Amino acid sequence: MEVITIEMLSLLKTRTEIAQEIGKIKNQQGMSVSNESREDELRELVKKTCQEINFDSNTALKFLNFLLNESIKVQSSTSNTHLAIFLKAKELEQQGKKIIHLEVGEPDFQPPLNVKKSLSEVYDKGFGKYGPAKGLPEFRTKLAEFANNNFDAGVNLENVMVTPGARFGVFLAITTLLDPSDEIIVIEPAWPAYRQCAINSGIKVRSIKTKLENKWEPDLDEISSCINENTKMIVLNYPNNPTGKILPKTLQDQIVNIAKENNLYILSDEIYSNYSNGEWSSILSYNYEKSIVTQSFSKSHSMTGYRIGYLVSSKDIIEKLTKLQALCLTNVSEPIQYTAMNSLGDDVTKNTEIMNERLTKLEEICKEMELEFVKPDGAMYIFARTKNPINTSDLSEELLNHGVAIAPGIGFGDYNEFFRISACLDIKTLIEGMDIIKTRL
Amino acid sequence: MEVITIEMLSLLKTRTEIAQEIGKIKNQQGMSVSNESREDELRELVKKTCQEINFDSNTALKFLNFLLNESIKVQSSTSNTHLAIFLKAKELEQQGKKIIHLEVGEPDFQPPLNVKKSLSEVYDKGFGKYGPAKGLPEFRTKLAEFANNNFDAGVNLENVMVTPGARFGVFLAITTLLDPSDEIIVIEPAWPAYRQCAINSGIKVRSIKTKLENKWEPDLDEISSCINENTKMIVLNYPNNPTGKILPKTLQDQIVNIAKENNLYILSDEIYSNYSNGEWSSILSYNYEKSIVTQSFSKSHSMTGYRIGYLVSSKDIIEKLTKLQALCLTNVSEPIQYTAMNSLGDDVTKNTEIMNERLTKLEEICKEMELEFVKPDGAMYIFARTKNPINTSDLSEELLNHGVAIAPGIGFGDYNEFFRISACLDIKTLIEGMDIIKTRL
């Protein structure tokens, strides 16, 4: 066995040296380091060779991935998001500067009054002990009922898992269900966490880049043609952050069919379902056993900082995700679970109405400013660009100094000319913020 | 590049086949799958070869690790812990069965009354928004002061990060600071999470097995001799779970020196510091820049289910860990941070006194039962074995049916003849539980 290991090692050296040379040449020519069609050829070759030498292609493709990841690391480094801007803005505020937060998806509403009541009584109720990693059974039962009533699902508590925010749900699903050899499809522009979670686990991201010109609708052929045997998951997020897009039902049906045909997991992040103006249907309504839906109290109940959300999926998938949650967290904070449980049924339609009014006002202002955007079907944002393309990363840094934070497009994919504006403040402040932006365009 | 990749592939096939054959032989002979001295020889050979062919040994050793992990996966599977017993016990309770929980480290005390007050006022105080991933600055400042006053540390808020329980702190430290090629030293018996977090990230665990006969003190030569260039971290946990051991100061000094000399991170889990009867000193008192101390409100303030703890380390390390926490969680639940912040200074010495009384009573009972154990210096447990060795995994399953949950020794390492009893219930119930155990020994 030594001889074989050492022989592989000497090949690894040669391979690493070639990768470094390629990296240098690419850098000089300003080319992107990861070269997908090149990688695909290599992947095909590996599969062919495995057939010829009668070797398990799964182990071989995992090995190829080890080699490719090594190459990418030797060749390059990283980038920027709206969370980075938010953290910079928070720092400036701590220094006493006033910042209008148009970068963050954080509603300014108060959580329902029930939240106050629950927090006041949770100590005496005794919810504060270690509990099941999946969450309080009574909470999970209520969440299942809620999903059945609101998302046309057919689930019970075994299909539900409480998480400390939808973000942790996304992290669990991507980290647990996919291996480093696997690939994930992300339709962009997209919330950066999907990509970051994948990269953090050595998973390959295939981006489907949608365009404003196509109303942010993904091309079905493009999705189909990027699927290979390593593709294990597609991420959907409608109503979409940052565009506010809701897919036409038939298009969504077709995407779900592609996923089914290719046995892909569908990770559907539906945290904006509460803020939808058009006709929206949950992925749960398809009753597809490989779907994972993330939900949250952050936006609907304005409980961002409480960190409480949940996952709905098949019992088997929930079992798998539970293991990592148990390893990381033991359980989700019980006082917070109790509080969210009691507020699940609270009427939060007022929040939706207010958000709509604000979006309508923002649309008006953006039109006056001659910004280009697609009227959002839901969510809490406008994703816009100027007629003459500008670098919005620079713009966002500049605007911070003038007291406004915006989310640069680059955080959502290859959209450096776009920026995202949140409708999470009262109309007066929104106008104030937009007025400052106007002076800098 | 194709030719080289394909050539490596065919070697990988040969290697995998050899590994499978070895696995079969080992299984027939009942040998352990991972063979450390064999691996060490291979490691030496790789390093030597790297020098000869002038190739970076870090990449090569990482590659070796990929091969070794593959071999271990081809050859074997997994085991059992006290968390598993706890979850089974919880399930039985949901079916209406009464269980005396001697398996879980969950104090039965109420959290300080201040917790109730804080929870009642947090809604109006407005702590419920997205915040810095490191935690509320005012909380971190107070935690730093607390560490300076209680742990002889010299830190400020930049050295502190709030986590949703010490468990998440352990997960962050191991996952972030170590790469899959790296090795971690765990002194056993040990809380299983250290090992599990390492394995979850493909990190190699080197166990130092301590013995009751040596009062659970690790052998310094054994520690030194298992350190190689891949060794990056040693985990300490004193007062210890499960043994209650506190190291003599000079022995602890020597271990810290070994860590310093070898540039190792020290991950020191000090969540039982509040329950120490002997002379205990925090790793923070050594002012070593590569130390990471985890702390928690779970045991000291009886806030297990609240999920709140913190890390103290160098500013650089905190920055690194913050990235993964931001990716996974955005921030730790703000209402819970606010609550813990206000209770940090609460007098919890009464908890320590009660725990001591119970441990003293448990020791008495264990002596009567002729169990073998070392009198604990702290923590909340007794780790004992019967004079004639028995399989405690079987015992713990059997006892569940008789209404008592205990933690089998196997969860803490290769200690199948030991079991852990928690002193987290009132003396009357402890006696009741021990009486049931007596009938089954």
Q: Is A20 left (phi over 0), alpha (psi -120 to 50) or beta?
A: alpha
Assess A92–B contact: CB distance below 8 Å, yes or no. Answer: no
CA–CA gap between residue B341 and residue B143 (Å, rounded): 8
Q: What percentage of chain B exceeds 70 in pLDDT?
A: 90
Q: Do A388 and A241 have their domain in common?
A: no
A159-194 b/e (C-beta count within 10 Å ≥ 16 → b): bbbbbbbbbbbbbbbbbbbbeebbbbbbbbbbbbbb
φ, ψ of residue B330 to 5 degrees: the values are 65, -70
Residue B77's pLDDT band (cuts 50, 70, 90) = very low
Assess B299–A contact: CB distance below 8 Å, yes or no. Answer: no
Best interface-test mutation with A: which of B13, B170, B342 has the largest number of A CBs within 10 A?
B13
β-pairing verdict for A407-408 and A418-422: antiparallel
Write down which residue in B32, B56, B75 finishes a domain: B75
Assess A284–B contact: CB distance below 8 Å, yes or no. Answer: no
- Alpha helices in B31-152, H assignment, sequence order: 36-53, 57-75, 82-94, 113-125, 137-150
Q: Do B139 and B273 have their domain in common?
A: yes
Residue B210's pLDDT band (cuts 50, 70, 90) = very high
Q: Do A88 and A130 have their domain in common?
A: no
CA–CA gap between residue B287 and residue B154 (Å, rounded): 7
Q: Do A281 and A396 have their domain in common?
A: no
Tokens representing residue B237 in the block? 């946990």
Say if residue B157's pLDDT is above 80.
yes
Strand order in the sheet with B265-269: B160-163, B309-312, B291-296, B265-269, B231-236, B183-188, B204-209
Write down which residue in B343, B378, B405 finishes a domain: B343
Contacts of B291 (CB under 8 A, 6+ apart): B265, B266, B267, B268, B283, B284, B313
- A-chain residues within 8 Å CB-CB of B45? 2, 5-6
Q: Do B422 and B387 have their domain in common?
A: yes
Q: Do A142 and A190 have their domain in common?
A: yes
Q: What is the DSSP string of A80-145?
A: --HHHHHHHHHHHHHTT---EE-SS----SPPPHHHHHHHHHHHHHT--S---TT--HHHHHHHHH
Q: Do B251 and B286 have their domain in common?
A: yes
Tokens representing residue A62 in the block? 């995992």
Which chain B residue has the Cα nearest residue A46?
Answer: B6
φ, ψ of residue B377 to 5 degrees: the values are -85, -15
Q: Which pLDDT does position A201 carry in this prediction?
A: 86
- In this complex, the residue of B12, B123, B129 whose CB is nearest that of residue A8 is B12
pLDDT tens string, chain A, 441 residues long: the values are 667 777 777 777 777 776 666 666 655 554 554 566 777 777 777 778 777 777 777 777 767 766 766 555 444 333 467 778 887 888 899 899 999 999 989 999 999 999 999 999 999 999 999 999 999 999 999 999 999 999 999 999 999 999 999 999 999 999 999 987 789 999 999 999 999 999 888 888 999 999 999 999 999 999 999 998 889 999 999 999 999 999 999 999 999 999 999 999 999 999 999 999 889 999 999 999 999 999 999 999 999 999 999 999 999 999 999 999 999 999 999 999 999 999 999 999 999 999 999 999 999 999 999 999 999 999 999 999 999 999 999 999 999 999 999 999 999 999 999 999 999 999 999 999 999 999 998
Closest-CA distance, B4 to chain A, in angstroms, reads: 6
Q: Do B333 and A306 touch (CB under 8 A)?
A: yes
Which chain A residue has the Cα nearest residue B88?
Answer: A132
Q: Which pLDDT does position B311 carry in this prediction?
A: 98
Closest-CA distance, A257 to chain B, in angstroms, reads: 30
Q: Do A245 and A334 have their domain in common?
A: yes
Q: Do A67 and B5 touch (CB under 8 A)?
A: yes
Cis ω before A107 (30° cut-off from 0): no
What is the domain-level CATH number for residue B21?
1.20.59.10
For B223-240, write each residue's pLDDT tens digit: 999 998 889 999 999 999
- B-chain residues within 8 Å CB-CB of A2? 41-42, 45
- A-chain residues within 8 Å CB-CB of B132? 87, 90
For A48-83, write each residue's pLDDT tens digit: 877 777 777 777 776 776 676 655 544 433 346 777
- B-chain residues within 8 Å CB-CB of A164? 164, 307, 329, 333
For A1-42, write each residue's pLDDT tens digit: 667 777 777 777 777 776 666 666 655 554 554 566 777 777
- Alpha helices in A369-407, H assignment, sequence order: 392-401
In single-letter form, the type of residue at position A431 comes to: I
Assess B326–A contact: CB distance below 8 Å, yes or no. Answer: yes
φ, ψ of residue B166 to 5 degrees: the values are -65, -30
CA–CA gap between residue A255 and residue B14 (Å, rounded): 41
Question: Average model confidence (pLDDT) for chain A?
Answer: 90
- A-chain residues within 8 Å CB-CB of B127? 305
Q: Do B59 and B196 have their domain in common?
A: no
- A-chain residues within 8 Å CB-CB of B13? 53, 55, 60
Q: Do A315 and A392 have their domain in common?
A: no
Mean pLDDT of B199-215: 93
Write down which residue in A292, A314, A343 finishes a domain: A343
Q: Do A198 and A318 have their domain in common?
A: yes
A251 in a structural domain: yes
Q: Do B327 and A116 touch (CB under 8 A)?
A: no
- B-chain residues within 8 Å CB-CB of A330? 83, 165, 167, 307
Strand order in the sheet with B381-385: B381-385, B418-422, B407-408
In terms of C-beta density within 10 A (0-12 exposed, 13-18 middle, 19 or more buried), how is residue B370 classed? exposed
Q: Do B5 and A127 touch (CB under 8 A)?
A: no
- The answer to whether residues B339 and B128 touch, using CB atoms and an 8 Å cutoff, is no
Q: Which pLDDT does position A125 carry in this prediction?
A: 97
Give the count of alpha carbons within 13 A of A421, CB side only: 35
Q: Is A420 left (phi over 0), alpha (psi -120 to 50) or beta?
A: beta
Q: Which pLDDT does position B24 carry in this prediction?
A: 64
For A292-321, write each residue's pLDDT tens digit: 999 999 999 999 999 999 999 999 999 999
B365 in a structural domain: yes
B58 in a structural domain: yes
Best interface-test mutation with B: which of A115, A129, A321 has the largest number of B CBs within 10 A?
A129
- B-chain residues within 8 Å CB-CB of A94? 137
Assess B25–A contact: CB distance below 8 Å, yes or no. Answer: no
- In this complex, the residue of A60, A120, A193 whose CB is nearest that of residue B327 is A193
Range of the domain at B213: 126-343
A131 in a structural domain: yes
What is the C-alpha radius of gyration for chain A, rounded to an integer number of angstroms?
A: 23
Assess A69–B contact: CB distance below 8 Å, yes or no. Answer: no
CA–CA gap between residue B94 and residue B74 (Å, rounded): 38
Closest-CA distance, A88 to chain B, in angstroms, reads: 10
B121 in a structural domain: no
Which chain B residue has the Cα nearest residue A43?
Answer: B2
Q: How far is CA B397 from the centre of its chain?
A: 23
- Looking at chain A from residue 140 to 179, which residues have their Cβ under 8 Å from any Cβ of chain B? 164-165, 167-168, 171
For B318-330, write each residue's pLDDT tens digit: 999 999 999 999 9
The CA distances from residue B400 to B44, B93, B381, B441, in Å, are 48, 11, 19, 14
Residue B78's pLDDT band (cuts 50, 70, 90) = very low
B115 in a structural domain: no
- Looking at chain B from residue 5 to 24, which residues have their Cβ under 8 Å from any Cβ of chain A? 5-16, 18-19, 22
Alpha-carbon dihedral A188, A193, A198, A202, rounded to 10 degrees: 120
Contacts of A40 (CB under 8 A, 6+ apart): A228
For A275-293, write each residue's pLDDT tens digit: 998 899 999 999 999 999 9
- The answer to whether residues B372 and B384 touch, using CB atoms and an 8 Å cutoff, is yes
Mean pLDDT of B43-54: 78
For B297-346, write each residue's pLDDT tens digit: 999 999 999 999 999 999 999 999 999 999 999 999 999 999 999 999 99
Contacts of B10 (CB under 8 A, 6+ apart): A49, A53, A55
Assess A344–B contact: CB distance below 8 Å, yes or no. Answer: no
Contacts of A183 (CB under 8 A, 6+ apart): A203, A204, A205, A206, A228, A230, A231, A232
Higher per-residue confidence, B364 vs A1: B364
- B-chain residues within 8 Å CB-CB of A339? 335
- The answer to whether residues A150 and A285 touch, using CB atoms and an 8 Å cutoff, is no
Q: Which pLDDT does position A101 carry in this prediction?
A: 95
What is the helix, strand, coil percentage profile of chain A, to 5? 50, 15, 35
Q: Do B167 and A329 touch (CB under 8 A)?
A: yes
Q: Which pLDDT does position A306 carry in this prediction?
A: 98
Q: Do A436 and A295 have their domain in common?
A: no
Place of tokens 């990841």: A69
A53 in a structural domain: yes
What is the domain-level CATH number for residue B378?
3.90.1150.10
Place of tokens 């985890």: B294
Q: Which pLDDT does position B69 carry in this prediction?
A: 62
ipTM greater than 0.85, yes or no?
yes
Q: Do A329 and B165 touch (CB under 8 A)?
A: yes
Q: Do A132 and B87 touch (CB under 8 A)?
A: yes
Q: Do A164 and B331 touch (CB under 8 A)?
A: no
β-partners of residue A163 are: A309
- Looking at chain A from residue 33 to 52, which residues have their Cβ under 8 Å from any Cβ of chain B? 41-42, 45-46, 49-50
Residue A72 DSSP symbol: H
- B-chain residues within 8 Å CB-CB of A171? 327-328
What is the domain-level CATH number for residue A335?
3.40.640.10
Q: How many domains is chain B built from? A: 3
Q: Which pLDDT does position B306 carry in this prediction?
A: 98
Question: Average model confidence (pLDDT) for chain B?
Answer: 90
- The answer to whether residues B216 and B225 touch, using CB atoms and an 8 Å cutoff, is no
CA–CA gap between residue A331 and residue A323 (Å, rounded): 11
Say if residue B50's pLDDT is above 90.
no
What is the C-alpha radius of gyration for chain B, rounded to an integer number of angstroms?
A: 23
Mean pLDDT of B5-27: 68
Residue B75's pLDDT band (cuts 50, 70, 90) = very low
Best interface-test mutation with B: which of A42, A109, A123, A167 has the largest number of B CBs within 10 A?
A123
Nearest alpha carbon to residue A342 among A106, A110, A112: A112
Q: Do B335 and A137 touch (CB under 8 A)?
A: no
A117 in a structural domain: no
What is the helix, strand, coil percentage profile of chain B, to 5? 50, 15, 35
In terms of C-beta density within 10 A (0-12 exposed, 13-18 middle, 19 or more buried), how is residue A292 classed? buried
CA–CA gap between residue A167 and residue A294 (Å, rounded): 8
